[in-house]
Amino acid sequence: MCRHIVTRLARGGITARAGLAGTPGAAWALALATADGNTTVCPPGGERAALAALPVAALRLDPDSVDRLSALGLRRIGDLYPLNDDARGRAGLARRFPPLVLDRLDAALGRTFEPISPLRPRTAHITRFEPAAPVHDGDGTAVARIAARLASALAPMLARDGLGARRIALAAFRSDGRRVRQVIGTARPLADALAMTALLRLALDHHGLDLGPGADGFTLEALRTEPLRRHQPHLALSHPAEDGSDADITLAPLVERLAGRLGPERVGRLTPRAHHLPERAQGFTPALDQADATPPFCRPLAMTPLARHRPLRLLARPLPVTTPNPSPDGPPEWFQWQGRRHLTARAKGPERIALEWWRLPGWQIGGAPAGLADAVRDYWRIEDREGARFWLFRAGPPQPGPGARWYLHGVFT
């Protein structure tokens, strides 16, 4: 049987080494010492002899113990036998080494019992439907009805395990032997049949499911699941929306629908990143890819400490603006943007941000900097006479004269 398993695994592209012995420890050690694709079988009661020549590391010891045993010249498991057989030797081992050493030796030799806890396959969350006669894709209502029926069976199955689906696949098995699938993503762990049905219907309306000559089998499977978060809508104190309802719950169906319509990669959210440079400090993450929506799904980016004094959204790239450059290190008196002249009423700053010098050659704005001292930006929050607020920066160090280059990087809204 052992050989059979190794052969089967090899067919599946997995190189295996097998050891068969009366104890898990001995089997493990033998497998380790066996050549790839081979099998070593230890006769019943032969563990002691079989292990003697193997290195002590085969006992599944921590590297530190292995090093220390080797330092004492105890390199093979057999080297430990004389010590182990003698009460004083055992006491010495127990004193000098962690209990693991004797435990593993005893377990491998069968002196103590070592239970095996097998890995159990995760239960698949899948529901099936086999219609009496092949279903043809008339107006699509038949498939939608089947999807609703499958969803109403899948949802309680998930809920029972305390799970919600993040990706669901509806598959149809056509009578010509082909399989067609429609995969949808959700913005939160979902175990609600109605919501699932609505999302499936939306996907079917937009993309359809080509049943060809007709389908005689359907499955609905939760491809990815996450623990279901239970909500208590009226006491949602953590991230209350304005009306007191939990914004996560109300926003999620919208995100799902938009993602279903526009494509999942087009609906995203800004996520904070640990970078000083503003354009590197936020990222765009597809909303459906968020692992279980933590950090909370609609946590505003502006809440992160770095972003307190920054516009929520930046321009795709900083835009050069014209200024009269009044003082070497102060804010501009006015600047010209989109054909309009903005007169500075108030200015706060400067916030000096040095460019990441280890990335300097790739710097876009203004070309390669002359040196380290030039690789800074001075950001100013500027309010114009009409009350509009802008985020401007001067590239390079403070300098007198008209050479300074100013850019608009964002508008406060």
Partner 1 sequence: MTAPAPYVELAVTSNFSFLRGASHPHELVTRAAELGYGAIGLADRNSLAGIVRAHVAARAAGIRLVPGCRLVTGDGFEVLAYPADRAAWGRLCRVLTLGKRRADKGQCRLAPADLRGLEGGFAGLALAPEGVISDDIFINNINLLSDIFNVSFHIATSPRLDGCDAVRLSRAAQLAARAGRPFAAVGDVLMHSPERRPLLDVLGCVREKCTLAEAGLRLAANGERHLKAPREMMRLFAAYPEALGAGAAIAERLGFSLDQLAYDYPDEPVPTGRTPDSQLARLALAGAQARYPDGVPAQVRAQIGHELRIIRQLGYAPYFLTVHDIVGFARRRAILCQGRGSAANSAVCYCLGITAVDPARSDVLFERFVSAARDEPPDIDVDFEHERREEVISTFTPVTGASAPVWPPR
Could you list the residues that contact partner 1 (CB under 8 A)?
A: 273-276, 306, 309, 348-354, 356-358, 372-373, 376, 379, 381
Q: For partner 1, which is the closer residue by CB, 284 or 357?
A: 357
Q: For partner 1, which is the closer residue by CB, 303 or 372?
A: 372
Q: For partner 1, which is the closer residue by CB, 149 or 309?
A: 309
Residue located via tokens 């508008």 = 411
Give CA–CA dist 386/45, Å, rounded. 92
Which long-range CB contacts under 8 A does 46-53 form with residues at least 24 apart?
47/21, 47/22, 47/23, 47/108, 47/109, 47/110, 48/81, 48/109, 50/21, 50/26, 51/26, 51/77, 51/78, 51/108, 51/109, 52/76, 52/77, 52/78, 52/81, 53/77, 53/78
Give CA–CA dist 335/205, Å, rounded. 51
To the nearest whole angstrom, how small is the minimum distance from the Cβ of residue 335 to partner 1? Answer: 18
Determine whether 307 is exposed, middle or buried from the number of CB atoms within 10 Å of its CB (0-12, 13-18, 19+). Answer: middle
Give CA–CA dist 219/127, Å, rounded. 6
The upper half-sphere exposure of residue 116, i.e. CA atoms within 13 Å in the direction of its Cβ, equals 11
Instruction: Please check whether residue 314 is in contact with residue 279, taking contact to mean a CB–CB distance below 8 angstroms.
Output: yes
Q: For partner 1, which is the closer residue by CB, 19 or 331?
A: 331
- 3-state secondary structure at position 267: coil
Q: For partner 1, which is the closer residue by CB, 185 or 311?
A: 311
To the nearest whole angstrom, how small is the minimum distance from the Cβ of residue 312 to partner 1? Answer: 17
To the nearest whole angstrom, how small is the minimum distance from the Cβ of residue 344 to partner 1? Answer: 16
To the nearest whole angstrom, how small is the minimum distance from the Cβ of residue 276 to partner 1? Answer: 4
Which tokens in the block code for residue 90? 């055992």
Q: For partner 1, which is the closer residue by CB, 111 or 276?
A: 276
Nearest to 158 by CA among 223, 62, 65, 87: 223
Q: For partner 1, which is the closer residue by CB, 122 or 308?
A: 308
Q: Which residues of 123-137 are buried (b: 16+ CB within 10 A; e: fewer)?
A: eebbbeeeeeeebeb
Instruction: Please check whether residue 331 is in contact with residue 344, taking contact to mean a CB–CB distance below 8 angstroms.
Output: yes
To the nearest whole angstrom, how small is the minimum distance from the Cβ of residue 377 to partner 1? Answer: 9
Which tokens in the block code for residue 39? 């099998």
To the nearest whole angstrom, how small is the minimum distance from the Cβ of residue 350 to partner 1? Answer: 6
To the nearest whole angstrom, how small is the minimum distance from the Cβ of residue 320 to partner 1? Answer: 22
To the nearest whole angstrom, how small is the minimum distance from the Cβ of residue 127 to partner 1? Answer: 44
Q: For partner 1, which is the closer residue by CB, 274 or 316?
A: 274
